[in-house]
Amino acid sequence: MTRKPNILLVGDMPGWAFHNIITFVRSKVKGYNFYYDYTIYNPLENSKVTSDFEAKSHHIAPRTLKKTIPFQQTFLLKGLVYRVINCLNQFGLLSYNGDGQFRRIRKNNTYDLVLFLDYYMDKDADFAHIKAKTRVKGIFTAQFPPKGIRIDPNISLEEFCENYLTDNDALLVGAPCIAQTYTDVFTKPIFFANMAYDEQVFCPTSKELNINEPLIVGWTGNPDRDFKGFYSHVIPAVEHLKKLGYSIELRTQFDGTLNSLADFWNKVDVALITSEADAGPSMFMEASLCGVPSISTRIGLPNDVIEDKVNGLFCDRNVSDIVDKLKFLIDNKKIHRAMKNNIRATYISKLGVEIQKARWKSLFNAVLNE
């Protein structure tokens, strides 16, 4: 019997975007032994790398970094529970270990492939104990220099690749447009792959894709990441239209389960994406599968899926143009309804579960068989 390759997937912390990617890969892509770990569990002393993410706790619900383990106060049972959970974790039957951490790693720390989902993770955390024949890093920001850490905004592409990518056998990008930035400098293979949501969970709940009155504009995600433009673009555009007398409402969800997000998008008419750099964003995936078109800047996945005025609208990243595009939808309900009817099928044909599964397999097969 052929041995399955052992692959370690590294994210930043449980509950965030890279956690969702890891969950998708290990549950949907068959033929490999997947292990996973997070930088937050492997702190690096005197790290020179500083994350650019500063969450404001009044907007983001606390994330659970550890699973609560039962019987921790019972001496006789504590050790037994610890060993049983670790055993189930090693066989891939539990996503957390005996310490409650959402990680699964090999005892000898040896893998056929280690994939750091963001380019800085091996410098931001202590993974010196990891031994792997092949290394791949990811970039999931459609901007240069990419987001993730505080980095010199004037760094050249050549210097960036020298500092962060030279020790890799391939590069993973979260959207096709990101690859274009690195093609001329990074001489090794570049692959596009991302996660995909369950198409049975994220789906229209009604065959009649009606448009609400007032127009419901939806936004999900972390509003405190400035490059997403929630405070600088989304709120001002909606408030401006209200002042002009237009019937429009902004609804948001900054956190929640997948089922709650699917329910959220089924009560929304349009997603408003104003990011200046994003590989996704996740809200585009969620909305599209629920039959909700997007008004979006030309970033990430929208750039690859949206056909202007067919299944969505492109906008410039300024409040004036965003206002104009929202007005267009309000004034052209027939076109809006056609967009709602078109977006889900187009999205699945380009970025659905089966498409993304094939992309991950193509990446793994290529780098493991070199």
Strand partners, 273: 296
pTM: 0.86
* C-alpha span between 54 and 247 (Å, rounded): 34
The answer to whether 261 touches 290, Cβ cutoff 8 Å, is no
CATH assignment, 6-65+102-196+353-368: 3.40.50
User: Which pair of tokens denotes residue 190?
Assistant: 């570049």
Question: What tens digit of pLDDT does each residue of 60-73 get?
Answer: 344 457 888 887 77
Residue 40 identity = I
3-state secondary structure of 127: coil
Q: Are strands 294-296 and 313-314 parallel, antiparallel or unpaired?
A: parallel
Closest CA to 261 of 238, 281, 235, 290: 290
Which is more confidently placed, 62 or 165? 165
Question: What tens digit of pLDDT does each residue of 175-223 get?
Answer: 998 999 999 999 999 999 999 999 999 999 875 656 667 999 999 988 9
Using alpha carbons, list the distances in angstroms from residue 147 to 51, 103, 206.
9, 25, 38
Strand order of the β-sheet with 6-11 is 33-38, 6-11, 110-116, 131-139, 170-173, 190-192
CATH assignment, 215-351: 3.40.50.2000
Q: Residue 357's pLDDT is what?
A: 97
Closest CA to 64 of 29, 91, 102: 102
SS (H, E, C) 200-264: CCCCCCCCCCCCCCCEEEEEECCCCCHHHCHHHHHHHHHHHHHHCCCCEEEEEECCCCHHHHHHH
- Binned at pLDDT 50, 70 and 90, residue 152 comes out as confident
**Residue/partner pairs of 142-145 with CB below 8 Å, 24 or more apart:** 142/175, 142/177, 142/178, 142/277, 142/278, 142/279, 142/299, 142/300, 142/303, 143/227, 143/276, 143/277, 144/181
The answer to whether 211 touches 336, Cβ cutoff 8 Å, is yes
User: Which pair of tokens denotes residue 183?
Assistant: 């093609």
User: Which pair of tokens denotes residue 238?
Assistant: 């909606």
Q: Residue 160's pLDDT is what?
A: 94
Q: What's the rounded mean pLDDT across residues 315-334?
A: 95
For the chain, give the mean pLDDT.
Answer: 89
Q: Residue 147's pLDDT is what?
A: 76
Strand partners, 303: none
Report DSSP state, residue 66.
B
Domain ranges of the chain: 6-65+102-196+353-368, 215-351
Residue matched to tokens 């050249």: 156
* C-alpha span between 248 and 2 (Å, rounded): 59
Report the share of the chain in percent with pLDDT over 70.
Answer: 93
Closest CA to 342 of 289, 304, 286, 303: 289
Whether the domain at 6-65+102-196+353-368 and the domain at 215-351 fall into the same CATH topology: yes
